[in-house]
Chains A and B, each alone.
Chain A
Amino acid sequence: MAGDLSAPEGFSAPDVTEILVRWRDGDADAPAKLMPLVYEELRRRARDYLRRERSDHTLQATALVHEAYLRMVDDRKVSWESRAHFYGIAARVMRRILVDHARAHQTQKRGGLAQVFTLDEARSLPCENTSDLVALDGVLQNFAKTYPRKSEVVELKFFGGLETREISEVLQVSEKTVLRDWNFAKLWLCRALTADAA
Chain B
Amino acid sequence: METTDRSEKIAELVETAFELEPAERINFLDQNCEEDVELRAEIESLLKFQAPSRNFIEEPAYHIAAETLVAEDTSELQAGDEVGGYKIRSLIGEGGMGEVYLADDLQLRRAVALKLIKGVYGRAAFRKQFEQEERILAGLNHPNIARLYGASVTPNATPFFIMEYVAGERLDHYCEHKRLTIPQRLEIFRKICAAVSYAHQNLVIHRDLKPGNVRVTAEGEPKLLDFGIAKLVDEASGATDQTITSTRAMTPDYASPEQVRGERMTTASDVYSLGIILYEMLSGEKPLRLTSRRPEEISRAITETIPVRPSVVASENRESKIENKKSLRGDLDNIVLMAMRKEPERRYASVGQFSEDIRRHLAGLPVLARKDTWNYRSGKFIRRHKVSVFAAVVLALTLFAGILATTWEARRAEKQRELAQRRFDDARRIAHSLMFEVHDAIENLPGSTAARELLVKRALEYLDSLAGESSGDPTLQRELIAAYIKVGNVQGNPTNANLGDSAGALQSYQKALVITEKLLAQSNDTDLRNSLGMILRKVADVDANTERVADAVRTAQRSLQIFRVLAEAAPGQADAQMNLAIGHLKLGDILGNPNFANLGDQAGAMRSYGDALIILAALEKQNPGDARTRRYLGIIHERIGTMRELQNDVTGALAEYQSSAAIRVPLAAEFPNDTQLVRDAAVAYEKLANVMTAAGDLEAALNDRQRSLEIFTRLAESDPKNVLAQQSLGISYLHLADLLGAPDSPNLKRPADAVANYARARDILLKNSEASDKKVGDLLQGIQAELGKLRD
Measured CB to CB, the residues of A under 8 A from B are 1-3, 5-15, 18, 32-33, 35-37, 39-40, 43-44, 46-51, 59-62, 64, 70-71, 75-76, 94-95, 97-98, 101-102, 105, 110, 112-113, 116-117, 120, 123, 125-128, 131, 133, 136, 146-147, 150, 154, 157-159, 161, 180-181, 183-184, 186-191, 194
Are B298 and A61 in contact, CB atoms less than 8 angstroms apart?
no
Contacts of B50 in A (CB 8 A): 187
- Partner of B68 from A64, A76, A105, A136 at Cβ < 8 Å: A105
Q: List 22 A-B contacts (CB under 8 A).
A: A1-B284, A8-B253, A9-B249, A10-B96, A10-B252, A12-B250, A13-B244, A18-B243, A36-B121, A61-B61, A105-B71, A126-B52, A127-B53, A131-B57, A133-B61, A133-B65, A159-B61, A161-B60, A181-B15, A183-B19, A187-B18, A188-B46
- A107 CA / B768 CA spacing, docked (Å): 79
Contacts of A60 in B (CB 8 A): 60, 62-63
What are the interface flags for B59-81 relative to A under an 8 Å C-beta threshold, 1 for contact and 0 otherwise?
01111111111110000000000
Contacts of A191 in B (CB 8 A): 45-46, 48-49
- Partner of A46 from B52, B66, B96, B253 at Cβ < 8 Å: B66
| Given known contacts A7-B249, A15-B262, A131-B57, A98 and B65 CB-to-CB distance under 8 angstroms | yes
- A180 CA / B20 CA spacing, docked (Å): 13
Which of B164-205 touch A at CB < 8 Å?
A: 172-173, 176
CB-nearest residue of chain A relative to B69?
A46
B318 at the interface (CB under 8 A from A): no
Contacts of B61 in A (CB 8 A): 61, 94-95, 98, 133, 158-159
Least distance between B156 CB and chain A CB atoms (Å): 10
What are the interface flags for B703-721 relative to A under an 8 Å C-beta threshold, 1 for contact and 0 otherwise?
0000000000000000000
- Partner of B49 from A10, A11, A43, A187 at Cβ < 8 Å: A187
Q: How many A-B residue pairs have CB under 8 A?
A: 208
- A183 CA / B212 CA spacing, docked (Å): 52
Least distance between B288 CB and chain A CB atoms (Å): 11
Are A187 and B68 in contact, CB atoms less than 8 angstroms apart?
no
Known: A97-B69, A101-B65, A125-B54. 14 other contacts (CB 8 A): A1-B176, A7-B212, A10-B251, A33-B238, A46-B70, A50-B69, A94-B61, A105-B68, A136-B57, A147-B11, A180-B15, A187-B18, A191-B46, A194-B49
CB-nearest residue of chain B relative to A155?
B61
Are A110 and B71 in contact, CB atoms less than 8 angstroms apart?
yes
B260 at the interface (CB under 8 A from A): yes
The 9 closest A-B pairs by CB, nearest first: A10-B249, A61-B62, A190-B53, A61-B60, A127-B56, A15-B245, A40-B119, A180-B15, A40-B247
B672 at the interface (CB under 8 A from A): no
B293 at the interface (CB under 8 A from A): yes
Contacts of A32 in B (CB 8 A): 122
Least distance between A57 CB and chain B CB atoms (Å): 9
Are A59 and B119 in contact, CB atoms less than 8 angstroms apart?
no
Least distance between B253 CB and chain A CB atoms (Å): 6
Are B14 and A123 in contact, CB atoms less than 8 angstroms apart?
no
Least distance between B634 CB and chain A CB atoms (Å): 51
B756 at the interface (CB under 8 A from A): no
**Looking at A18, A117, A125, A190, which has the most chain B CB atoms within 10 Å of its CB?**
A190
Are B65 and A187 in contact, CB atoms less than 8 angstroms apart?
no
- Partner of A5 from B93, B260, B412 at Cβ < 8 Å: B93
- A170 CA / B60 CA spacing, docked (Å): 18
Contacts of A159 in B (CB 8 A): 60-62
Least distance between B21 CB and chain A CB atoms (Å): 15
Least distance between B425 CB and chain A CB atoms (Å): 20
- Partner of B119 from A6, A36, A48 at Cβ < 8 Å: A36
Are A187 and B245 in contact, CB atoms less than 8 angstroms apart?
no
CB-nearest residue of chain A relative to B468?
A76
Least distance between B71 CB and chain A CB atoms (Å): 6
- A98 CA / B245 CA spacing, docked (Å): 25
How many interface residues does B have (CB within 8 Å)?
72
CB-nearest residue of chain B relative to A105?
B68
Are A47 and B69 in contact, CB atoms less than 8 angstroms apart?
yes
- A163 CA / B182 CA spacing, docked (Å): 58
- A64 CA / B61 CA spacing, docked (Å): 12
- A146 CA / B67 CA spacing, docked (Å): 33
Contacts of B260 in A (CB 8 A): 13
Contacts of A125 in B (CB 8 A): 52-56
- A184 CA / B15 CA spacing, docked (Å): 6
| Given known contacts A7-B95, A117-B64, A12 and B246 CB-to-CB distance under 8 angstroms | yes
B759 at the interface (CB under 8 A from A): no
- A3 CA / B169 CA spacing, docked (Å): 11
B568 at the interface (CB under 8 A from A): no
Are B119 and A127 in contact, CB atoms less than 8 angstroms apart?
no
- A155 CA / B245 CA spacing, docked (Å): 28
| Given known contacts A43-B119, A190-B56, A101 and B49 CB-to-CB distance under 8 angstroms | no
Are A189 and B57 in contact, CB atoms less than 8 angstroms apart?
yes
CB-nearest residue of chain A relative to B263?
A13
CB-nearest residue of chain A relative to B285?
A1
Are A15 and B239 in contact, CB atoms less than 8 angstroms apart?
yes
| Given known contacts A1-B211, A101-B69, A102-B65, A13 and B246 CB-to-CB distance under 8 angstroms | yes
Contacts of A11 in B (CB 8 A): 249-250, 252, 295, 298
What are the interface flags for B354-367 relative to A under an 8 Å C-beta threshold, 1 for contact and 0 otherwise?
00000000000000
Contacts of A181 in B (CB 8 A): 15
Contacts of B293 in A (CB 8 A): 9, 48
B94 at the interface (CB under 8 A from A): yes
B413 at the interface (CB under 8 A from A): yes
B280 at the interface (CB under 8 A from A): yes
What are the interface flags for B15-31 relative to A under an 8 Å C-beta threshold, 1 for contact and 0 otherwise?
10011000000000000
Are A183 and B121 in contact, CB atoms less than 8 angstroms apart?
no
- A46 CA / B14 CA spacing, docked (Å): 36
Least distance between B47 CB and chain A CB atoms (Å): 7
Least distance between A106 CB and chain B CB atoms (Å): 10
- Partner of B413 from A36, A39, A70, A128 at Cβ < 8 Å: A70
Least distance between B121 CB and chain A CB atoms (Å): 5
- A102 CA / B295 CA spacing, docked (Å): 30
Contacts of A190 in B (CB 8 A): 49, 52-53, 56
| Given known contacts A61-B63, A184-B18, A37 and B295 CB-to-CB distance under 8 angstroms | no
Are A101 and B63 in contact, CB atoms less than 8 angstroms apart?
no
- A11 CA / B118 CA spacing, docked (Å): 15
Contacts of B63 in A (CB 8 A): 59-61
- A161 CA / B210 CA spacing, docked (Å): 37
CB-nearest residue of chain B relative to A176?
B15
Contacts of B19 in A (CB 8 A): 183
Which of B1-44 touch A at CB < 8 Å?
A: 3-4, 7, 11, 14-15, 18-19
- Partner of B55 from A2, A5, A123, A161 at Cβ < 8 Å: A123
B237 at the interface (CB under 8 A from A): yes
**Looking at B47, B53, B63, B93, which has the most chain A CB atoms within 10 Å of its CB?**
B53
CB-nearest residue of chain B relative to A41?
B247
Are B53 and A94 in contact, CB atoms less than 8 angstroms apart?
no
What are the interface flags for B108-128 relative to A under an 8 Å C-beta threshold, 1 for contact and 0 otherwise?
000000000011111000000
Are A8 and B252 in contact, CB atoms less than 8 angstroms apart?
yes
Are B57 and A158 in contact, CB atoms less than 8 angstroms apart?
yes
CB-nearest residue of chain B relative to A193?
B56
Least distance between A177 CB and chain B CB atoms (Å): 9
Least distance between B57 CB and chain A CB atoms (Å): 5
Contacts of B248 in A (CB 8 A): 10, 12
Are B245 and A14 in contact, CB atoms less than 8 angstroms apart?
yes
Contacts of B55 in A (CB 8 A): 120, 123, 125, 128
Least distance between A185 CB and chain B CB atoms (Å): 9
Least distance between B247 CB and chain A CB atoms (Å): 4
- A194 CA / B45 CA spacing, docked (Å): 12
Are A116 and B412 in contact, CB atoms less than 8 angstroms apart?
no
Are B46 and A1 in contact, CB atoms less than 8 angstroms apart?
no
Contacts of A183 in B (CB 8 A): 14-15, 18-19
Contacts of A113 in B (CB 8 A): 64-65, 68
Contacts of A75 in B (CB 8 A): 412
| Given known contacts A15-B245, A70-B413, A94-B62, A184 and B252 CB-to-CB distance under 8 angstroms | no
